[in-house]
Chains A and B, each alone.
Chain A
Amino acid sequence: MTCKDIADKLATVAEGSATQGDAAVVDEHVASCDACRQMLHAQVTARTVLRARAAQLAVTAPPGLRTRIAASARAERSEAKGLLSWRGRLSAFAAAAVLMLSLGAALLPVVTERSTVVLAAQLALDHLKCFIIDGDASGPPISKAEAEAIVQRDHGWSANVPASTEGLELLAVRHCLYGDGLAAHVLYRAEGQPVSLFILPGLARPAAELSVLGHDEVVWSHGDRTYMLVSAAGTKAGLARVASYLQNEAK
């Protein structure tokens, strides 16, 4: 037996899970081979230490993650059963809203292709999540250059991120999941109110203004990107001003 033959058997011998034959062969070899004996010892030790300490290294998933996954499992099931009728029914919008509420920011590409409303609902939830739950927007404003560098780093494409201006502060950029992939989520504060600009690459959607899940949204496209502006309902006049500023700046 050469050291190379032995090497393949060391992993199982170190665990005590080797066949009797392998164990005997290795025993005999290591009795006269320093290098393989050390290798065996190293394996046993590393395994022992790791197993003894693994519990201390264990992590717990964030509670929100569990909720989102459980909700998306339920949503998938409803989808599969065809409970949602998407054609010509006003109630479909209500269904979408309920579905999206339970779904959180999870992925549902098939659904989002069907309706800007569903996408809007997803983004409204992400807006809430990023502003309220994750509390990302508590820090000081960041510069246009910093924001653009983050988009470049996280997404690999460049975007023109509108800078802070009178009554509007650029706070943070995140990469967030939505139905078709990752969106650049730009967080602003307008007159003290949280406002989100989502930049969705690779798809152009028709311009729209809509209200969903207690949020007003403005949708527009430029090139192959869709821009969606999200803010809590009741700020429509302010939102229109912000939208026209961002539409001009984001090109």
Chain B
Amino acid sequence: MFPGRRRTSEPAQDEDDFSGATLEFLDSLYGAALRLTRNADRAQDLVQDTYLKAIRARGRYTTGSNLKAWLYTILHNTWRNRQRDGARSRVSFDSAVVEEAAEGASLGPSGHVESPETLLLRATIDADLQQALDALPESFREAVWLRDVDELSYQEIASVLGVPIGTVMSRLSRGRKQLFLLLTVQRQRHGSV
């Protein structure tokens, strides 16, 4: 990890270390940008913009805090601003409505639900998982991914997504539930298990 102090005797070295450290998360950030933009060109634009902002704001990064979470926060803020400023009309969903809709979904008869997760694990192919993730509303997918894959803390996810911790928890529960439902439906469609 980089020392994080700035303007020491060797600032250039520090800053080299800083950009080097941020670049360790390039793949993760690009993955996040792809999930958000769903387009390789736009994802590259978003990541590049994120890094430029990060480099300019490096003085505001607190040494010792989670650098990945800090970068994710910049990326998501940039994305939200673009969404807001975008002249293009976009199908934007009200996340409250989506969350309500998810809440209403039934987990179905307990016979399906009670099968051990190892069965679903074995039956789920990567393409199905990708498809299920793509089908989740953005706010749910991000909460689930940041927690279960990136292992950010609830507080970190709250800053990344710009919402209170309670909202993170609720999106996380509902996102996982939706994901489970989608995977279960796919398994049944494939007729496996």
Contact = CB atoms under 8 A, between A and B. Distances in A.
Real binding pair: yes
Given A61-B27, A66-B23, A38 B169 contact: no
Interface of A: 7-8, 10-12, 14-15, 34-35, 38-39, 41-54, 56-62, 65-66, 68-70, 72-74, 76-77, 106-107, 153, 155-157, 174-175, 177, 182
B121 A69 contact: no
B124 A58 contact: no
B121 A52 contact: yes
A248 to B, nearest CB: 28
Interface residues of B, number: 53
B11 to A, nearest CB: 9
A52 B12 CA distance: 40
Contact of A49 (B29, B56, B129): B129
Interface of B: 12, 15, 19, 23, 26-27, 29-31, 34, 40-41, 44-45, 47-49, 51-52, 55-56, 86-88, 107, 110, 113-114, 117, 120-121, 124, 126, 129-130, 133, 144-145, 147-149, 166, 169-170, 172-173, 175-177, 179-181, 183
Given A49-B117, A69-B47, A156-B86, 11 more contacts: A15-B147, A34-B110, A39-B107, A39-B173, A45-B120, A45-B180, A49-B120, A59-B30, A61-B27, A62-B44, A72-B51
Contact of A58 (B31, B51, B56, B144): B31
25 contacts: A7-B173, A11-B172, A12-B169, A42-B107, A42-B176, A46-B148, A46-B183, A49-B120, A49-B124, A49-B129, A51-B148, A53-B126, A54-B148, A57-B31, A57-B129, A57-B133, A59-B34, A61-B29, A62-B30, A62-B40, A65-B44, A69-B47, A72-B55, A76-B52, A107-B48
